[in-house]
Amino acid sequence: MTVDCKICGIRDPEALRAAVQGRARWVGFVFFPRSPRSLTPEQAAVLSAEAAGRVERVGLFVDPDDALLDATLGRVDLDMLQLHGSETPRRVAEIRARWGLPVMKAIKIARAEDLAVVPDYAEVVDCILFDAKAPKEMVDALPGGNALSFDWRLLAGRSWPKPWMLSGGLNPENLTEAVNLTGADAVDVSSGVEVRPGVKDPARIAAFLSAAGEL
Ligand SMILES: O=C(O)c1ccccc1N[C@@H]1O[C@H](COP(=O)(O)O)[C@@H](O)[C@H]1O
């Protein structure tokens, strides 16, 4: 079984190299200032140029306005947009049409009912990303990248009308169980391959990609 991996929150050349050497399919650059993984377009442009032709480059945004997308995409070459906020299906469709890039929309899951919106988004996206919904009590939670998992059994035996990725609290130690339970053939990780928020660990990136290669 092949499991394609995205390593998100890349901020330095060492992490990028570990992702490329381990044969990640995608790397993610975060454009959300509140995140410890956030990059300026200028910083991302350097990494994006180094990644070109070796790994697909995903730009992560949270409820971006047109000005942010214009400013970022005017400076950084990206292969896909990841929308990780509260974007409506209509806004997702608008972004996809206006900037002409494939779009992956995060759907945040805590319970079975949270999956009810999938058909609405499936009509307008290229890929669905299932991530954990942070509990309300977690006051300092980010819109994603919180090292939180959801109950993977919610996805067991389900099929979806579009390609999809699993994320939320994945790491080299739990990847096999997560994939076996959900049947995911693509996964996304950020916190689980870091030494602390915003600082990637090349050895953990290698371990994650190696675990994916052994599935
Ligand atoms: O990584 C971030 O800082 C981030 C910020 C805002 C929205 C999403 C973010 N990351 C995405 O969150 C999920 C889960 O990450 P983790 O592995 O649990 O840390 C993943 O899809 C990241 O791309």
Domain ranges of the chain: 4-213
Three-state DSSP class for 126?
coil
pLDDT at 22: 98
Our mutation pick for probing the ligand 1 site, out of 167, 187, 193, 200, counting the most ligand atoms within 8 A of Cβ, is: 167
From atom 6 of ligand 1, which residue's Cα is the shortest distance away? 144
Q: Using one digit for the tens of pLDDT, what is the confidence trace for 145-171?
A: 899 999 999 999 999 999 999 999 999
pLDDT at 1: 76
Q: Is residue 8 flagged as an active site residue?
A: yes
CA distance 52 to 48: 6
pTM of the model: 0.96
CA distances from 179 to 47, 60, 75, 127 (A): 29, 23, 36, 17
188 beta partners: 6
Q: Is residue 65 flagged as an active site residue?
A: no
pLDDT at 135: 86
Catalytic residue among 5, 65, 77, 131: 131
- Intervals of the chain under pLDDT 50: none
Task: Please answer whether residues 77 and 48 qualify as being in contact, where contact means their C-beta atoms are separated by less than 8 angstroms.
Answer: yes
ipTM: 0.98
Mean pLDDT in the chain?
97
The CATH homologous superfamily for domain 4-213 is: Aldolase class I (3.20.20.70)
Please report the atom of ligand 1 found closest to the CA of residue 9.
Answer: 1
Mention every residue, 6+ apart, whose C-beta is less than 8 A from residue 9: 28, 30, 35, 37, 145, 190, 194, 198, 200
Residue among 97, 164, 159, 170 at smallest CA distance from 127: 164
**Percent residues over pLDDT 90 in the chain:** 93
